[in-house]
């Protein structure tokens, strides 16, 4: 498992007026490990203040994902986990790239 570095986040709920009590706009450098065919891999990003139940609304990555399937979710306090599944016929290594996440805490 790789951990993200150079994490920059902006916290505030002005973008979604009334839908969320808090939001995070996170940008970081991520260097995921190579993912073998039909295998999964996980990476983590430390985001101060997020908690279980918060939603990852969007994720963007700065390279061609080469057929990989990715999902991001808040897995623990201050931690977002990115799961990468490789359904392709060969190993894929994306190398280092910029990852952007939008996270929201819903009004309950």
Written as one string, the DSSP assignment of 51-81 is -TT-EEEEEEESS--TT-EEEEEEEETTEEE
CATH number at residue 93: 2.70.40
Is the pLDDT at 11 greater than 80, yes or no? no
Report the domain count for the chain. Answer: 1
Q: 6 pLDDT band (50/70/90 cuts)?
A: confident
Whether residue 103 contacts residue 22, with contact meaning beta carbons closer than 8 Å, is answered with no
Average pLDDT, stretch 40-47? 95
Residue 33: give the domain boundaries: 2-106
Average pLDDT, stretch 58-81? 94
19-23, 39-43, 56-60, 101-105, range with the lowest pLDDT: 19-23
Q: Which two tokens stand for residue 2?
A: 């790789």
pLDDT digits (tens, 9 = 90+) for 88-107: 999 999 888 999 999 999 88
């Amino acid at each position: 498992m790789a951990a993200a570095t150079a994490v920059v986040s902006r916290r505030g709920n002005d973008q979604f007026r009334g839908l969320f009590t808090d939001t995070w706009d996170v940008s970081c450098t991520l260097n995921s490990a190579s993912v073998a065919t039909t295998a999964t891999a996980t990476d983590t990003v430390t985001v101060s203040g997020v908690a279980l139940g918060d939603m990852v609304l969007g994720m963007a990555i700065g390279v061609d994902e080469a057929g990989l399937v990715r999902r991001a979710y808040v897995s623990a306090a201050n931690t977002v986990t990115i799961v990468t599944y490789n359904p392709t016929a060969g190993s894929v290594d994306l190398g280092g790239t910029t990852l952007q996440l939008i996270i929201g805490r819903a009004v309950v």
